[in-house]
Amino acid sequence: SAVISQKPSRDICQRGTSLTIQCQVDSQVTMMFWYRQQPGQSLTLIATANQGSEATYESGFVIDKFPISRPNLTFSTLTVSNMSPEDSSIYLCSVIDPLGGYTFGSGTRLTVV
Amino acid sequence: GQSLEQPSEVTAVEGAIVQINCTYQTSGFYGLSWYQQHDGGAPTFLSYNGLDGLEETGRFSSFLSRSDSYGYLLLQELQMKDSASYFCASAGNKLTFGGGTRVLVKP
């Protein structure tokens, strides 16, 4: 199955700053997905990233706050901009696995202080 | 829109059987998936039901009834390592997750 390398694994950031999260997949994939998981909660889809086009954002998420890059079929970044304590969450990238289901990166645990 | 409902928590003892129910209201529904997530870890794929019926994978089985908009995950011969959160998710053009069920296995 697909293997995803996600960085950083965790970070503590000052409010008002930005953090960029990277995901590298060991195979070419058409779509990459970015999720947020707030403490003790389920996963919420932020956006779907396709190579060569703008990401598609879910209701409640906007490009200015969560800009996404998808420069090729194996890599994507999510930036959390102008952070506030409410952005403290785990952020995960995901791809559809050809063997079944979705495969997730190991997650980025973000704390905003 | 899509919504999936599942119980928030289940407690059972080692060796027992646990059934986690999931009811859904979705548009563009293709099937139901189940994921396991240990504390501090990423979700991992357990099973997928695209058709009605039972899918068995070792100690875990999953069931889907499209007519009832209902599915379940069955955990048999519970082990301590099965303590985790379990999520149902509807597979359409994107994956939408239920709220998750925290399973606590006691000795």
Among the ranges given (B27-31, B44-48, B78-82), the one the predictor scored with the smallest mean pLDDT: B27-31
Inspect the interface and report whether the beta carbons of B41 and A106 lie closer than 8 Å.
yes
Restricting to B residues 8-37, those with a Cβ less than 8 Å away from any Cβ of A are: 33, 35
pLDDT of the residue at A52: 81
Measured over the CA atoms of residue A105, residue B47, residue B61 and residue A44, the dihedral's sign is positive
Inspect the interface and report whether the beta carbons of B42 and A102 lie closer than 8 Å.
no
State the pLDDT confidence band at B91, using cuts at 50, 70 and 90. Answer: confident
Inspect the interface and report whether the beta carbons of A42 and B44 lie closer than 8 Å.
no
Chain B residue nearest residue A43, CA to CA: B97
Among the ranges given (A28-32, B25-29, B69-73), the one the predictor scored with the smallest mean pLDDT: B25-29
pLDDT of the residue at B63: 98
How close A1 gets to chain B, by Cα (Å)?
11
Query: What is the spatial distance between Cα B26 and Cα B90, in angstroms, rounded to a whole number?
Result: 8
pLDDT of the residue at A49: 95
Chain B residue nearest residue A6, CA to CA: B42
Residue B2 has pLDDT above 80, yes or no: no
Inspect the interface and report whether the beta carbons of B99 and A45 lie closer than 8 Å.
no
Inspect the interface and report whether the beta carbons of A100 and B45 lie closer than 8 Å.
yes
Chain A residue nearest residue B9, CA to CA: A40
pLDDT of the residue at A100: 79
Chain B residue nearest residue A57, CA to CA: B94
Closest CA to A111 of A15, A33, A36: A15
pLDDT in tens, chain A (113 residues): 899 999 999 999 999 999 999 999 999 999 999 999 998 999 999 999 988 888 999 999 999 999 999 999 999 999 999 999 999 999 999 999 887 789 999 999 999 99
Residue B93 has pLDDT above 90, yes or no: no
Top-confidence residue, A50 or B15: B15
Give the alpha-carbon dihedral of A106, B60, B22, B90, to 10 degrees: 50
